[in-house]
């Protein structure tokens, strides 16, 4: 609440709140920010998975903070839990009561089938918004063939009842984004997914990554959707219905 009202005052952008968290964060605590703010969108992992980045620990000899190395190495034992019961709770608390639209994060093909099951159970309705997440250890790799496979599977399961985007982790971020656009999808960039703006060059900000990918897409003849066009395409409830 220290920054969301300021964002709303300065832009009509669609705000998407995470429902992720650490091993120590309960599902209740993870959904509380989106529930309190009644935001237009929030993320939802479509299953439990090993989520690890421990190999990064051996790439560095020096760390800025004492907690960093231990935190990275211990991710080898990290399991992100999102059971069907958890998903149902989030769907009811946020989707049912607050009419929040979900960004369904699918880290592997099985997550698409989980989503199909949940749709059949009446938890979610079209148009769905699916985020293909590629390149996280524990999930599907960031090869282009995998992106094509995820898209083909989603087409088979959901037909024309969904919009989609791609998240390429690390070095795959800028590589996969233009390919996704050429395939008819949307793109996601940001420091959560990659710290770099170019090979070996740290990004100065999220804005720098956004401006770069916007330039790459516009150079290919694509137009960037406005917030209102996005709201219409995803059937969002509108900025006047949030609580911040």
Query: Model confidence over 130-166: pLDDT tens digits?
Result: 999 999 999 999 999 999 999 999 999 999 999 999 9
Instruction: Tell me if 55 is assigned to some domain.
Output: no
pLDDT at 24: 75
With pLDDT > 70 as the criterion, what percentage of the chain qualifies? 100
Give me the chain's average pLDDT, please. 96
Instruction: Tell me if 70 is assigned to some domain.
Output: no
With pLDDT > 90 as the criterion, what percentage of the chain qualifies? 95
Instruction: Tell me if 62 is assigned to some domain.
Output: no
Residue 206, domain extent: 4-47+82-241
Instruction: Tell me if 63 is assigned to some domain.
Output: no
Quick one: pLDDT band at residue 32, thresholds 50, 70, 90?
Answer: very high
Q: Where are the beta strands (DSSP E) in 62-127?
A: 79-80, 101-106
Summarize pLDDT for 72-96 with one digit per residue, the tens: 999 999 999 999 999 999 999 999 9
Structural domain tally of the chain?
A: 1
Instruction: Tell me if 56 is assigned to some domain.
Output: no
Look up residue 109 and give its two tokens: 């093909």
Instruction: Tell me if 153 is assigned to some domain.
Output: yes
206 pLDDT higher than 80: yes
Instruction: Tell me if 202 is assigned to some domain.
Output: yes
What are the DSSP calls for 35-62, one per residue?
HHHT-SEEEEESS-EE-B-GGGGGG-S-
Instruction: Tell me if 176 is assigned to some domain.
Output: yes
Reduced to 3 states, what is the DSSP secondary structure of residue 41?
Answer: strand
pTM (two decimals): 0.94
Query: At 14, which CATH number?
Result: 3.20.20.70
């Amino acid at each position: 609440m220290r920054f969301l009202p300021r964002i709303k005052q300065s832009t009509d952008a669609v705000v998407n709140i995470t429902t992720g968290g650490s091993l120590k964060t309960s599902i209740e605590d993870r959904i509380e920010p989106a529930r309190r703010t009644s935001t237009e969108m929030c993320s939802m992992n479509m299953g439990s998975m090993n989520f690890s980045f421990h190999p990064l620990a051996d790439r560095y000899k020096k760390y800025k903070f004492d907690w960093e190395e231990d935190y990275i190495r211990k991710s080898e034992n990290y399991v992100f839990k999102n059971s069907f019961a958890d998903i149902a709770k989030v769907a009811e608390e946020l989707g049912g009561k607050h009419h929040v639209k979900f960004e369904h994060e699918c880290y592997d093909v099985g997550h698409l089938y989980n989503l199909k099951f949940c749709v059949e159970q009446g938890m979610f309705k079209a148009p769905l918004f699916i985020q293909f997440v590629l390149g996280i250890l524990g999930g599907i790799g960031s090869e282009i063939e995998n992106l094509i496979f995820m898209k083909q599977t989603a087409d088979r399961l959901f037909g024309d009842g969904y919009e989609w985007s791609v998240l390429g982790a690390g070095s795959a971020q800028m590589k996969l984004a233009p390919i996704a656009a050429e395939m008819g999808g949307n793109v996601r960039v940001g420091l959560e997914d990659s710290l770099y703006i170019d090979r070996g060059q740290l990004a100065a900000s999220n804005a720098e990554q956004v401006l770069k990918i916007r330039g790459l897409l516009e150079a290919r003849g694509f137009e960037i959707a406005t917030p209102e066009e996005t709201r219409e395409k995803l059937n969002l409830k509108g900025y006047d219905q949030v609580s911040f």
